[in-house]
Amino acid sequence: MSTHAPDRVPDSLQSLLVEAVERGASDLHITVGAPPSVRIAGEMTQIRTTPLSPRDTSRLCQQMLSEHQVERFAASHALRMSFGVPNVGRFRGSFFMQRGAMSGVYRAIPLAIPSLETLGLASLNPLAALRRGLVLVGGPLGSGKSTTIAALLSAVARTRSGHLLTLEDPTEFLFPQMASSLVAQIEIGTDYPAFKEAFAAAMAQDPDVLMISELTGIDAIESAIEAAETGRLVIAASPSRSVAKAIARLVDAYPTETQARARARIADVLEAVTCQTISRVDGVRRAACELVTADAGLRFRVRDGSALLE
């Protein structure tokens, strides 16, 4: 860990975010008992030398929160949200309790949505031509799933005419409206209190393409399958490190006695699974992905459960 700035507690979160962006950091950490720190090229670096007190972290973390968000955090001791800082960028904030006080991590979100080619993922371009079914985008935390999904959705919006709708917690990339496609973005916890209500509202809007930012929990999984069964293209993120684990995660969400039926439904709608990892080559982050498209053989293996094995 190295130090960079004067030994003082910062007056504002915005000043720290500006410094993080100027230094090319991917994340800013505000943690009780430690100085403000950033992640640059995978390495943690302190940008102040004075450890933050509980009062410091609470003050800094709450500066970008609305009164409603402060109340939500007070009730659950957990909160995720996103926000923009003019002329600086967009950020996703994740807040938690640590040493009895509020702490937070801020992830920088690019203002412009990159292309699949820019990400080195041109192999995923054929997925943008799909008209229906379920596409899973897997990968561990920090592997860039959100960025990949945004690039894929952007490719879909450019190449077809339709209504694209996202269900996110929180909203990350902001999609511009395009001549051929209408894009709507629903933020869970802000626009609707929970996933069930958000999904019901989304389906009432008759989307052609539905993106679910986090496919965890039976409600989200069942909703993704249901939407795909009704002829929509569903693109969903899965915190899974491999294709087999991404499929198994869907099945395992169901009670044992209904898993055979769940496997059959998944086999019917599954179109592709891609799982990605991030590596560094000469200090540059590069994505590598495993892509499996559904064919008769894969669908058979999903139905009998053999596709769930590594």
pLDDT digits (tens, 9 = 90+) for 152-166: 999 999 888 899 999
Q: Under CATH, which number does the domain 13-109 receive? A: 3.30.450.90
Measured in Å, how far apart are the chain's first and last C-alpha atoms?
Answer: 38
Label residues 244-272 b or e (16+ Cβ within 10 Å = b): bbbbbbbbebbeeeebeebbebbbbbbbb
Say yes or no to pLDDT of 42 above 80: no
CA angle 137, 240, 289 (to 5 degrees): 50
Fold of 122-308: Rossmann fold (3.40.50)
Looking at residue 303, its pLDDT comes to 92
Order of strands across the sheet that contains 78-85: 43-46, 37-40, 27-30, 101-109, 89-98, 78-85
Tell me which of 49 and 35 has the higher pLDDT.
35
The predicted structure's pLDDT at residue 283 = 57
The per-residue pLDDT for range 240-250, each reduced to its tens digit, is: 888 889 999 99
The domain segmentation of the chain, as residue ranges, is 13-109, 122-308
Task: Quote the pLDDT of residue 285.
Answer: 62
For residues 294-300, average pLDDT: 91
pLDDT of residue 3: 45
Cis peptide bond upstream of 170, omega within 30: yes
Percentage of the chain lying above the pLDDT 90 cut: 71
Query: Has residue 59 got a pLDDT over 50?
Result: yes
Question: Could you tell me the pTM of the whole model?
Answer: 0.87
Mean pLDDT estimate for the chain: 90
Looking at the DSSP assignment, which residues form a beta bridge with residue 143? none
- pLDDT tens per residue, range 194-213: 999 999 999 999 999 999 99
Longest Cα–Cα distance in the chain:
63
